[in-house]
Amino acid sequence: MSDSLTVSFGSLHSGPVRRAWRLEDPAELLGSLPADLEAVELEVEVVGTMREGVRARGRVRSTVNCTCRRCLAALQIPLDAAFDAWFRAEPEVTAGEDGIWGVSEKAAEIDLAPAVREEVLLGIPAYPVCAVDCAGLCPTCGVRLADEECTCPPPGPDPRWAALTELASDEE
């Protein structure tokens, strides 16, 4: 395990470089993340030269600890994403090229952390749910509807719709 996600250009001269990292504290190298992640594992193969471009391919794995957006149940969602990034000299990289990262021509190594961070961010679910048909919580008493039935009376009509209800009854 290393304290950085870097691969030196010198190590690429003898062929592909295969590396594996396990980040026990992902925020340490990837920065602040919008979800609580367990250890992030990265397996990668890096090949190429700065002149032709360097390609890093592999997998990023972790577990996202979050809550269901409907019923607030604790969830652990696996994150398993393909990782594929190109690195080229900064003057050759133009805006809008997805998956291509600029590297200073004077750099001695490639830092994979920004590309890994992007892949992790894309893998975190925006709206996690425990089940597709999760009924959520009762808006009145807060009971988790998957666990027990609510005894609250049904809500009355929304007063914001009263004018439309009057219009509909006038036409009958």
- Between strands 53-67 and 6-8, the pairing is unpaired
The least confident of 39-48, 75-84, 93-102, 113-122 is 93-102
Higher pLDDT, 39 or 98: 39
**Residue whose pair of structure tokens reads 């470089």 in the numeric block:** 17
Instruction: State which residues form the domain around 100.
Output: 6-123
Q: Please, is 136 exposed, middle or buried when counting C-beta atoms within 10 Å of its C-beta (0-12, 13-18, 19+)? A: middle
Mean local confidence (pLDDT), 127-141 = 93
The domain tally of the chain equals: 2
Give pLDDT, residue 96: 65
Whether 88 shows a pLDDT value over 50: the answer reads yes
> Is 1 contained in some domain?
no
> Is 43 contained in some domain?
yes
**Percent of the chain topping pLDDT 70:** 95
On whether the CB atoms of residues 70 and 135 are closer than 8 A, the answer is yes
- Between strands 74-89 and 109-111, the pairing is unpaired
Give pLDDT, residue 107: 86
